Amino acid sequence: MWDQLVVGAAPGDAITKSAVLIREALAAHGPSEIYAQHLEPGLDSHVHPLHELPRRPNRDRPLIFHASIGSWPVHRAIVENEQRLVLVYHNFSPPEYYADIAPEIAGDLIRGRWELEQLRDRVELAFADSEYNAEELRVLGYRDVEVVAPTPDVDRLDRVVPDPDMLRRIDGWGPGPLVLCVAQQLPHKRVERVIAAVAVLQQEHEPDARLAFVGVDRLATYSRALRAMARTVGLRDPQFLGRISDAELSALYLRAAVFCTLSEHEGFCVPIVEAMATGVPVVAADRAAIPSTVGEAGIVVDDPDDPVLVAGLLAKVVRDGDLRRLLVGRGVGRARGMSAAHSLPRYLDALLRHPTASRTVAELVASGEPLPAGVGR
Amino acid sequence: MDRDAEQQAPSTDEIAAAVAEVRRDLAERRARGELPHLPSDELDRQFSAVVEAVEAGLVEEPPIETGDLHGPAVLETWRPLRGRGGLAARLIGLLLSPLTRVVGVVVRRQVGEFSTRTAAVVEQLVDRQNRVQFFLSRTHLDRQRRLEYRVAELEREVERLRAALPEGAPPRTGA
pLDDT for the residue A377: 44
Taking an 8 Å cut-off on Cβ atoms, the answer to whether A233 and B46 are in contact is yes
Interface test with A, best of B54, B135, B139, B143 (most A CBs within 10 A): B54
Q: A337-363 pLDDT, tens per residue?
A: 888 888 888 888 888 888 777 777 777
On the 0-12 / 13-18 / 19+ scale of CB atoms within 10 A, B40 is: exposed
pLDDT for the residue B81: 58
Share of chain B above pLDDT 70, in %: 73
Q: A177-189 pLDDT, tens per residue?
A: 999 999 989 999 9
* B130 vs A137: which has the higher pLDDT: A137
Residue B175 has pLDDT above 50, yes or no: no
- Distance (Å) from the C-alpha of residue A133 to the closest C-alpha of chain B? 26
- Distance (Å) from the C-alpha of residue A124 to the closest C-alpha of chain B? 42
Taking an 8 Å cut-off on Cβ atoms, the answer to whether A302 and B51 are in contact is no
Note which residues in 58-117 of chain B have CB less than 8 A from chain A: 59, 61
Residue B73 has pLDDT above 70, yes or no: no
- Mean pLDDT of the residues in chain B: 75
Residue type, A297: A
- Distance (Å) from the C-alpha of residue A322 to the closest C-alpha of chain B? 9
pLDDT grade for A58, boundaries at 50, 70 and 90: low
- Mean pLDDT of the residues in chain A: 89
pLDDT grade for B4, boundaries at 50, 70 and 90: very low
Average pLDDT over residues A84-113: 89
Say if pTM beats, i.e. exceeds, 0.90: no
Does the CB of A196 have a partner CB in chain B at under 8 Å? yes
| CA distances to A29, A188, A249, A271, B142 from A156, in Å | 24, 27, 11, 13, 46
Does the CB of B4 have a partner CB in chain A at under 8 Å? no
Residue B52 has pLDDT above 50, yes or no: yes
Residue type, B36: P
Taking an 8 Å cut-off on Cβ atoms, the answer to whether A305 and B47 are in contact is no
Residue B9 has pLDDT above 50, yes or no: no
* Residues of A whose CB is below 8 A from B36: 308
pLDDT for the residue B120: 84
CA A358, CA A12: separation in Å to the nearest integer?
29
Average pLDDT over residues A296-317: 95
* B41 vs A375: which has the higher pLDDT: B41
Average pLDDT over residues B138-165: 81
User: If DSSP codes are grouped into helix, strand and coil, which group holds residue A85?
Assistant: strand
Residue B5 has pLDDT above 50, yes or no: no
Residue B80 has pLDDT above 70, yes or no: no
Nearby residues of B170 by Cβ (< 8 Å), 6 or more positions away? none
Taking an 8 Å cut-off on Cβ atoms, the answer to whether B41 and A192 are in contact is no
A199, containing H or E segment: helix A191-200
User: Contact at 8 Å (CB) between A186 and A93?
Assistant: yes
Most confident of A49-53, A290-294, B48-52, B121-125: A290-294
* Residues of A whose CB is below 8 A from B43: 192-193, 196, 305, 307
Average pLDDT over residues A209-221: 92
CA A26, CA A47: separation in Å to the nearest integer?
15
pLDDT for the residue A302: 93
Share of chain A above pLDDT 70, in %: 96
What is the DSSP secondary-structure string of A329-368? HHHHHHHHHHSHHHHHHHHHHHHHT-TTTTS-HHHHHHHT
Beta strands A85-89; A123-128: pairing state:
parallel
CA A206, CA B152: separation in Å to the nearest integer?
31
Share of chain A above pLDDT 90, in %: 59
Share of chain B above pLDDT 90, in %: 8
Taking an 8 Å cut-off on Cβ atoms, the answer to whether A225 and B141 are in contact is no
pLDDT for the residue B70: 60
Taking an 8 Å cut-off on Cβ atoms, the answer to whether A312 and B13 are in contact is no
pLDDT for the residue A325: 95
Average pLDDT over residues A207-214: 96
Q: B100-151 pLDDT, tens per residue?
A: 788 888 888 888 888 888 888 888 888 888 777 777 777 777 777 777 778 8
CA A157, CA A308: separation in Å to the nearest integer?
32
Residue A332 has pLDDT above 60, yes or no: yes
Average pLDDT over residues A299-309: 94
